[in-house]
Structure 1
Amino acid sequence: MRSTDQLAVMVPAGLAGVVVTETELGDVRGSEGFYHYRQYSAIDLAEAVGFEEAWHLLLHGNLPDAEQLVRFREKVGSLRPMPDGLAALLPAICATTDDALTIVRTALSLWGGIRRLRPLFDADPDEIAEAAMASAAVTPTILAAAHRIRQGQEPIEADPTLGHVDDYLRMLTGARPNAHDLRAVEQYLVSTMDHGFNASTFTARVIASTGADLAACLVGAIGSFSGPKHGGAPSRALQALDEIGSLDRAEAYVRDKIERGDRVMGFGHAVYRTKDPRSEMLRRTALGYDDPLVDLAVGVEAVFERTLAELKPGRELFANVEYYAGVVMKLAGIDPSMFTPTFCVARVAGWTANIVEQSRDPKMIRPSARYVGPPPPQPVPSLAARLA
């Protein structure tokens, strides 16, 4: 039998470029600036279909026909309200923290208990698919209610007759969005449902590979997603625009950031080596608003890209999805504290589709690490020696 050393394969830091499994859900081609959901360009989908249609595609494998879409929307609507037990306890959860992602991961853990979710290892495919839909349906309800509670307002109950994004914005802001804002946010959410094996999706699949229940997978995914280097960037990118204030200050701002070794939020991506197609689409969406913030964002983007090309030649640092996401969400009336949670509303649909797919694979994900500490085995020193 071969030793672990003989079986080990050295891989790049951060598993960059390492293929860990096969998937039918989609892929990201970083060198091409292209990504897709199943066989369709994700950007084409974002510009052509609604949220439920793209969600159906990821979860069930096809774009729904008219009858399937009606049934899917009705099912999602019926699953959107919070269970009474969770609604009663949500104020107590909100009292412990101001962070919406902390609240939703705690609430989803409780939700899994209320739903009596069984481990994926024990559940049948229909049971897993139902739990996947239910968790993604209730997530925006939890987030919107948590936001209102933290603002000293009463939560608004879900309306099963409304579309998913329409109802989320109504529960969040207290009023139904106009058609322009609704479509802008929906395009953003469709474009961010899934994005290859990013950190949070990989986390969800690692947990799913152990056979844990679906709520456990989502709690882990949200924990990963909450990091500023992952899902936590849209509000920070908008904050940078607020700090710059006017276009004439943009170059000095980015030069100062680089000189201090700080990260320029909203620029650069772990996979893309060309323009981020999500950012390109969201720029077009932002240009649909007649607002000085859009003019500032477009101008700052040009200055930043030119200056970064000078200061970091060969790095190919372009605006990423977070840069224009913050602009679009702010102009659509979403509070900056809810930018990353709104991103989560989209990504939970992708996470659950990945969890469903991973649940069909009997192999647990269990990589190795290269040990670099003191060479073993060393003699264990006596207590007297350690106290000497």
Structure 2
Amino acid sequence: MPIDRTAPVSVDVPRGLAGVVVTNTVLGDVRGLEGFYHYRQYSAVDLAQSRSFEDVWHLMVHGELPDAERAVVFAAETAALRRLPEEVRAALPAIAAASGPSGPLAGLRSAMSLLGAVKGFRPMYDIDAEQRRADTMAAAASVPTLLTALYRLGRGLKPIEPRNDLPYAANYLYMLTGSEPDAERARAIEQYLISTVDHGFNASTFTARVIASTGADVAAALVGAVGALSGPLHGGAPSRALDTLDAIGTPDRIDPWIRERVLAKERIMGFGHPVYRTEDPRSRMLRGIAQQIGGPLVDFAVEVEQHVEAILAELKPGRELHTNVEFYAGVVMELCGLPREMFTPTFAAARVVGWSANILEQAQDSKIIRPAARYIGPQPPVAVPTMA
């Protein structure tokens, strides 16, 4: 008999689940109308300005900021997890070669799967909370090592082993370039990493939690999150924002270039956010970091930002459109010497901590995430045609 489409089997929600609350969390929140977001009870921007990346990592997975003694211990614990198992190291050249133009983020998906298998990660459904936490720590600490090794191998360079004596951000830059970074640039990247650790139920975090809700292992959840992050509409935008600056080229071209795109209703990469209706606090902080470093690129970026907002106020009055985190993140990473193909992977090196915290929280809930879809195809059932 035909399906009764009027039966109350589902609840209508906004397209893309926008604004739909799917669970409770103690990890943080994004207040789009206020231009504010936080990790647990602390302003994320305040944390980026005053604490280390390792301190924020501790906060996310252990629920509290460490005191001075515990901070030293935790930093040492995470540093000791940076080295890769030999089986993973041996496979990285092949993974880098296979990834080809897709780059290190694509390679990370394969490498993370292998890491989970080599380390014997078991389904989270079958292990206790302490083992889950240990698995997330081991996986997260390996991400910078994997990404930098894949990048260097892809360019015919030898991977550089991690150093236990360097903090997370400085070690990441060291493994990428082979040189110990100066304090200013290491701190700039550390602040960027802290500012992007977590950001509500974004696409990659939600993906990680959906997979975690099935009871799968930590590596499976992280691989799914990396896949979601790779999309240009999510984490794949920092380099594209710089491409916008390149396309404009010179100050005299700002107005005509921006006007043409606004009138054509084209997306301007680096501007706008699905949650914020005011200035993105991450962008504001990163603009300040960029201005501390200084240079022509920073001056040009600020000028472009001002022109975009002025043109929008003229052509689309009442519409709020500000720079998002990708715009000045790209500027900061460029100033600190990161190649553009490593911008989104660097984002992943930060967000893996937020994913880990969300995975751990989701694993405490035995309810699988299983939404519904509204069927709008031909009315069933239709007789299956016989083959002529």
Identify the residue that residue 48 of structure 2 maps to in structure 1: 46
Q: Tell me how far 1:381 sits from its aligned partner.
A: 2.5
Q: Which amino acid aligns with 1:114?
A: V
Alignment partners' CA distance in 1, 2:318 and 2:18: 18
Q: Which amino acid aligns with 2:224?
A: G
SS in 1 for 2:293: coil
Q: Tell me how far 1:380 sits from its aligned partner.
A: 2.2
Alignment partners' CA distance in 2, 1:30 and 1:148: 38
Identify the residue that residue 164 of structure 2 maps to in structure 1: 160
Q: Tell me how far 1:149 sits from its aligned partner.
A: 1.0
Alignment partners' CA distance in 1, 2:202 and 2:148: 25
1:288 equivalent to 2:255? Answer no
Deviations 1:258-298 (A, max 9, x none): 34442100000010001000000000000001210000000
Alignment partners' CA distance in 2, 1:374 and 1:305: 46
Is the 1:56–1:64 Cα contact (8 Å) retained in structure 2? yes
Alignment partners' CA distance in 2, 1:252 and 1:348: 40
Alignment partners' CA distance in 2, 1:279 and 1:310: 23
1:59 equivalent to 2:57? Answer no
- What pairs with 1:294-309 in structure 2 (closer than 5 Å)? 294-309=298-313
1:79 equivalent to 2:86? Answer no
Q: Tell me how far 1:166 sits from its aligned partner.
A: 1.0
Q: Tell me how far 1:159 sits from its aligned partner.
A: 1.1
SS in 1 for 2:29: strand
Identify the residue that residue 13 of structure 1 maps to in structure 2: 15
Alignment partners' CA distance in 2, 1:351 and 1:39: 18
Alignment partners' CA distance in 1, 2:236 and 2:314: 27
SS in 2 for 1:288: helix
TM-score, scaled relative to structure 1: 0.96
Counterpart of 1:351 (choices 352, 355, 360) is 355
- What pairs with 1:1-388 in structure 2 (closer than 5 Å)? 5-97=7-99, 98=101, 99-384=103-388
Q: Percent identity?
A: 58
Alignment partners' CA distance in 2, 1:187 and 1:362: 35
Q: Stretches of 4+ moved more than 6 A in 1?
A: none
Q: Tell me how far 1:255 sits from its aligned partner.
A: 1.9
Deviations 1:326-378 (A, max 9, x none): 00001011111101100110000000110011000010000001111111122
SS in 2 for 1:318: coil
Alignment partners' CA distance in 1, 2:324 and 2:249: 20
Alignment partners' CA distance in 2, 1:218 and 1:107: 11
Q: Which amino acid aligns with 2:196?
A: T
Q: Which amino acid aligns with 1:8?
A: S
SS in 2 for 1:362: coil
Moved more, 31-40 or 66-75: 66-75
Alignment partners' CA distance in 2, 1:320 and 1:301: 11
TM-score, scaled relative to structure 2: 0.96
Alignment partners' CA distance in 2, 1:335 and 1:155: 16
Q: Tell me how far 1:66 sits from its aligned partner.
A: 1.2
Q: Unpaired runs of 5+ in structure 1? A: none
Q: Tell me how far 1:151 sits from its aligned partner.
A: 1.8
Alignment partners' CA distance in 2, 1:29 and 1:65: 28
CA RMSD of aligned residues (A): 1.3
Is the 1:309–1:317 Cα contact (8 Å) retained in structure 2? no
Is the 1:35–1:195 Cα contact (8 Å) retained in structure 2? yes
Alignment partners' CA distance in 2, 1:253 and 1:171: 38
Q: Tell me how far 1:161 sits from its aligned partner.
A: 2.1
SS in 2 for 1:171: helix
Alignment partners' CA distance in 2, 1:165 and 1:82: 18
Is the 1:26–1:35 Cα contact (8 Å) retained in structure 2? yes
